[in-house]
Amino acid sequence: MKFNIPEYDSNKTFEPFEALGFSLWMSQSLELSLVNYLVFAHKISPVTAKEQIQMIFEKTSKKTFGALLKELKMKDEFLSKTIIERLGVILDDRNWLIHKVYAINQSDMFSSRKSSNLIEKIRGIGFASIELSKIISKKTDEIIAAKGFSSVEELDKKTQEILNSWAEDK
């Protein structure tokens, strides 16, 4: 089988690949935000044992973006319908990036004329992922506070107080 590898100037064609990497990275970050949200909102409480929490995070982290979204649709009452719909759009866009952009748009990546539209579309996926990650992370923080979990700052402060008391005892 012969592959058609186009000639390219690395100075001109790096940008589409940078956009692709950025958007894939951001969509993966969004997926991790969904994992955190699902675990804190629906799977653990402040009295859940640390070892059990780790196992729940590991199990939930192994799910695909699509499986996480499906679970979210079945269980969740905290996120708006609009956010859930936007997550579905990001899932479709992310799947296009992973499974179809190469086959459908391979030559566009090397064409100055065609790559600008493609870059814009790809970057849009990354920026939409960032926006949704922020929304979901904020909602996760609200749920953590409402359920009575200690915040990272509180845990750090308690840890420092314990360390200080140990130092004073010596």
pLDDT at 158 over 70: no
Q: What predicted TM-score, i.e. pTM, was given to this entire model?
A: 0.79
Terminal Cα-to-Cα distance of the chain (whole angstroms): 73
Per-residue model confidence (pLDDT) at position 164 = 75
pLDDT at 1 over 50: no
Decide: 23 and 98 in contact? Cβ < 8 Å.
no
Per-residue model confidence (pLDDT) at position 101 = 84
pLDDT in tens, 100-124: 887 777 777 766 677 788 889 999 9
Per-residue model confidence (pLDDT) at position 48 = 84
Decide: 49 and 152 in contact? Cβ < 8 Å.
no
Contacts of 155 (CB under 8 A, 6+ apart): none
pLDDT in tens, 119-157: 899 999 999 999 999 999 999 989 988 888 876 676 566
Per-residue model confidence (pLDDT) at position 9 = 62
Phi, psi dihedral angles at 139 (to 5 degrees): -65, -40
Q: Locate 56 and state its tokens.
A: 């729940």
d(CA 139, CA 59): 22
pLDDT at 163 over 80: no
pLDDT tier for residue 11 given thresholds of 50, 70 and 90: low
pLDDT in tens, 67-90: 999 999 998 888 999 999 999 999
| Lookup result for tokens 């479709």 | 92
Per-residue model confidence (pLDDT) at position 51 = 83
pLDDT in tens, 26-45: 999 999 999 999 999 999 88
DSSP 6: -
